[in-house]
Amino acid sequence: MRIARILLKLSQLSIERSFQNPLAASFFIMGKLLRFGLFFYFVSTLVTHTKLLAGYTVDQTVLFFLTFTIVDTLSQLLFRAVYSFRPLLVSGEFDHILTKPFHPFVVVLFGAIDILDAIVLVLYMGITGFIMTQTTGIAALHLGLYAAFIVNSLLIAMAFHIAILAMGIITIEVDHTAMIYRDMSRLGSFPIEIYKEPLRSIVTFIIPIGIMMSVPAQALLGMVPAQALIVYGAISVFFVGLSLGFWRYALQYYQSWGS
């Protein structure tokens, strides 16, 4: 409960910062929607002219893109603090965070929830719901699996962001590492079947972009059995454990700004 209260307070401060400049917030939201609209148009036009993409129809391919957008937006909403980690390192403020009587992830991982992403997320989810109604073969069980796999995807996204934090401690570089992750995650905006081997296996099991982005949409379309949630969940937990090990390793070599 103490940690929850701290997170709530940090979230309130983050929301206040987001709306300090209403014009900037408006441009941020407009930019998000413009990028989403242009890429949505690109995906729908591409599949409309090709009829099928890796065996998927237009509506099914759009669901893959929308699932990618939802997972990506949720991860930015929850883990936005990672993108402000480098200033804490170079200023020495991270020393102060390490002395606090709670885990540093409270600040450097979850401490800057972005309410602007929450606003556009509502729109993305509304469009996804509409496309679902236009797609045949989606049952209530599939919706439950879809939600469960979205949560599983967020575990993988958390693992990636923890690894970015650890890399930042070692190299004092966060922004470029985060951009590399963002670029890799965009591989999941299309069905993973469009990639040939060995790339398909690499982005599924070594760099689990496929599990994070494609599997939820496949579950929604009834292509993934419920039992697979155990396997993919174990893979996600493994990657979270791996990233936590990397974080602990990085802390062993951390030197404060004054060292």
Q: What is the pLDDT of residues 46-58, one digit of tens each?
A: 666 666 666 788 7
Instruction: Give pLDDT tens digits for 85-122.
Output: 999 988 888 998 998 888 999 999 998 887 778 888 88
- Indicate the number of domains in the chain: 1
pLDDT at 25 over 70: no
For residue 257, is it within any domain?
no
pLDDT-based confidence at residue 62 (cuts at 50, 70, 90): confident
CA–CA dist 14, 60 (Å, integer): 36
Q: Is residue 23 part of a domain?
A: yes
- The pLDDT score that the predictor gives to residue 257 is 60
Confidence class for position 133, pLDDT limits 50, 70, 90 = confident
Long-range contacts at 233-237 (CB < 8 A, ≥ 24 apart):
233/152, 233/155, 235/205, 235/208, 235/211, 236/152, 236/153, 236/155, 236/156, 236/159, 236/208, 236/211, 237/155
The answer to whether residue 129 scores a pLDDT higher than 70 is: yes
pLDDT band at 163 (very low <50, low <70, confident <90, very high): very high
Whether residue 87 is contained in a domain is answered as: yes
Domain for residue 158, yes or no?
yes
46: domain range?
2-252
Indicate the DSSP class of residue 196.
P
Nearest to 158 by CA among 71, 226, 93: 71
pLDDT of residue 11: 77
Q: With 60 as the cut, is the pLDDT of residue 259 above it?
A: no
